[in-house]
Amino acid sequence: MSLQRELRERYDAVVVGAGHAGCEAALALARLGFQTIIFTVSVDSIALMPCNPNIGGSSKGHLVKEIDALGGEMGKNIDSTFIQSKMLNKSKGPAVHSLRAQADKKAYSDLMRQKLENNGNITVKQGEVTELIIDNGKIEAVKTYTGAVYECSVCILCTGTYLKAKCITGDVSTFTGPNGLMAANHLSDSLEQHGISIRRFKTGTPARIDGNTVDYSKMEPQYGDEKIVPFSFTNRAEDLSREQIKCWLTYTNEGTHEIIRNNLDRSPLYSGVIKGTGPRYCPSIEDKVVRFSDKNRHQVFIEPEGLYTSEVYIGGMSSSLPEDVQADMYHSVPGLEQARIVRNAYAIEYDCIDSLECKPTLELKKIEGLYSAGQANGSSGYEEAAAQGLMAGINAARKMRGKEPLILDRSQAYIGVLIDDLVTKGTNEPYRMMTSRAEYRLLLRQDNADLRLTPLGYEIGLIEEERYERLMEKQRLIEEEIDRIKSTSVGGTEKVQKLLKQYESTPLQSGITLAELIRRPELDYDKISSIDEARKSLPEDVCEQVNINIKYEGYIERQWKQVKQFKKLERRRIPKDIDYTKINSLRKEAVQKLSDIRPESVGQAARISGVSPADISVLLVYLQGCFT
């Protein structure tokens, strides 16, 4: 009788999950020279978009730009596969401008799969990781459902919504991941066995319908921008010009709401079937009808899922209502009266890690070499996941190289805000990035993400020399042009006065610098070009930075002063072995929170819920005594 032997292989890094977090993590590790194996329940689901068919949007566009600036892949991938591109919030200031693109979902997934498969340092493996093998508090290997063992120095968990996933439509529950894919039913148990706290969250998605059965004449067309703004700083607008598809806008009505209200007793949300906590900022349609009962209609966006499919996404109408109710509900919406449902809407419950288990590097505090990223950490959204995956990959690589980790603080990037919120404040619901979460959002604009972060990407090794040199030239041109504008004056000549009259701007009584003119609300850098005789032809992205930096100089300087104060507390490091129970006058709640979270700096400690300014003063006095 022959003895069965287990398969045993060795890699530098294991990535569990090939969603948006897993792809960025694996690519970062591989590009930094590490042999990486990435596991997925299905190789056909790599970089899958199981919910909305778009990348970017309010604040999320910032994350994609930052991912690109550091050397990630998401921005390049969506630039190659978008079918409509639009800049949101253009009527507002540049701090909240956010790029959003509809994706061809299949093309996006296929291209990302190609990037993984064509990297010589990446092995793509279909299989379910069921067990973590830990030795002396350090990750040693993972085991799959088939019993194969994969040894590693680091492991990154990017499990998305697959851990013990359950999809729910009415009173019908299926134990599957999104889109009917296999759930991962064992890894949660392994994590809990090693002392990791697990939570149960919920999200959902609307139905997909056959676009051929939609009456678009009853809807408002939504067009993309004529001028494309790339997500990736490596692309030029003119190279991305292509014919774009239309999206459509319609609305729910009182009839829709009546159908929903009459069937709330059959809703898993209200009957107690759903136990997981759902996202506050992306509620289901039944939740909207209950919470916003004063609204007689809600927006519904009809978004094509790709160029070679008739499926369309019903944005704004996610639901877990029974199938028959869904049919009545969707058919009550103008334009959808005859719509045929291809895929029912559903809610999905899944396990995730309490994000307070993670360090700012995204390494778990209790298990050395084990990292977690994306929805595994309780966040929501493709962009939030990709950002965490990239950072986890970078920090895992730097750990193996024996280098200091990369931790972006809240004044450097939206990515810094995202991770700091998760690991310092934690989250009791799926976390969504928003511009309002960033205190220094005027500095963290999407247009300057390359200037903020590409030097770091170059230092890490993810940005090539040529791209870095181009950035240095861009920065030089911006600085020189700002200096020139500030030192160039014009007087009240006929030409100048004519221009001012054209834009209803106050006439000049004496000389004024061009910078002072640009700061006028009705004027900008381009509008005054006809009276700027020494102006040179500069790249468009340089002109944009010149205009913003001059026009908002006062506000920007004010934020830099706030950052300076912020940095003081961030630089005050807290010893790793500090015993908070020994600090007199520290409140019991503060002792507990500080002991659990183990902040690395006084700044981080100050952001912990339950730690008061008085507690921080006590902590500062104690630290001062320790170092004197």
pLDDT digits (tens, 9 = 90+) for 462-501: 999 999 999 999 999 999 999 999 999 999 999 999 999 9
At residue 4 the predicted structure's pLDDT band, cuts being 50, 70 and 90, is: low
Reference 333, options 305, 314, 347, 309; nearest CA is 314
Q: What is the DSSP string of 583-619?
A: STT--HHHHHHHHHH--SBHHHHHTSTT--HHHHHHH
- Report the pLDDT value the prediction gives residue 585, as an integer from 0 to 100: 87
* Those residues with Cβ within 8 angstroms of residue 533's Cβ, 6 or more apart along the chain or in another chain: none
Given the structure tokens 């921080």, which residue do they identify? Answer: 616
State how far Cα 288 lies from the chain centre.
24
pLDDT digits (tens, 9 = 90+) for 181-207: 999 999 999 999 999 999 999 999 999
- Report the pLDDT value the prediction gives residue 268, as an integer from 0 to 100: 86
At residue 2 the predicted structure's pLDDT band, cuts being 50, 70 and 90, is: very low
Rounded distance between C-alpha atoms, residue 502 and residue 379, angstroms: 49
Number of Cβ within 10 Å of residue 50's Cβ equals: 19
At residue 336 the predicted structure's pLDDT band, cuts being 50, 70 and 90, is: very high
At residue 627 the predicted structure's pLDDT band, cuts being 50, 70 and 90, is: low
Predicted confidence (pLDDT) at residue 370 exceeds the cutoff of 60: yes
At residue 1 the predicted structure's pLDDT band, cuts being 50, 70 and 90, is: very low
Predicted confidence (pLDDT) at residue 437 exceeds the cutoff of 60: yes
- Report the pLDDT value the prediction gives residue 526, as an integer from 0 to 100: 96
| Pick from 224-228, 268-272, 580-584: least confident | 268-272
Average confidence score pLDDT of the chain: 95
Residue type, 243: E
Reduce the secondary structure of 57-89 to three states and give it as a string. CCCHHHHHHHHHHHCCCHHHHHHHHEEEEEEEC
604 touches 407 (CB < 8 A)? no
Q: With pLDDT > 70 as the criterion, what percentage of the chain qualifies?
A: 99
Mean pLDDT of 63-82: 98
- Report the pLDDT value the prediction gives residue 179, as an integer from 0 to 100: 87
* Those residues with Cβ within 8 angstroms of residue 564's Cβ, 6 or more apart along the chain or in another chain: none
* Those residues with Cβ within 8 angstroms of residue 2's Cβ, 6 or more apart along the chain or in another chain: none
H or E element that contains 145:
none
Mean pLDDT of 268-281: 78
CA-to-CA dists, residue 393 to 28, 246, 400, 415, 583, angstroms: 5, 37, 11, 14, 37
Indicate the SS3 state at residue 224: coil
pLDDT digits (tens, 9 = 90+) for 589-619: 999 999 999 999 999 999 998 899 999 999 9
385 touches 48 (CB < 8 A)? no
Rounded distance between C-alpha atoms, residue 622 and residue 619, angstroms: 5
Mean pLDDT of 565-585: 91
Handedness of CA 450, 456, 458, 462 (dihedral sign): negative
Indicate the SS3 state at residue 116: helix
Torsion of CA 331, 336, 338, 341, to 10 degrees: -80
Predicted confidence (pLDDT) at residue 529 exceeds the cutoff of 80: yes
Rounded distance between C-alpha atoms, residue 52 and residue 359, angstroms: 30
Predicted confidence (pLDDT) at residue 405 exceeds the cutoff of 90: yes
Mean pLDDT of 112-128: 98
Number of Cβ within 10 Å of residue 282's Cβ equals: 17
- Report the pLDDT value the prediction gives residue 247, as an integer from 0 to 100: 97
Predicted confidence (pLDDT) at residue 350 exceeds the cutoff of 70: yes
State how far Cα 360 lies from the chain centre.
16
Structure tokens at 522: 């009705």
Structure tokens at 378: 């309780």
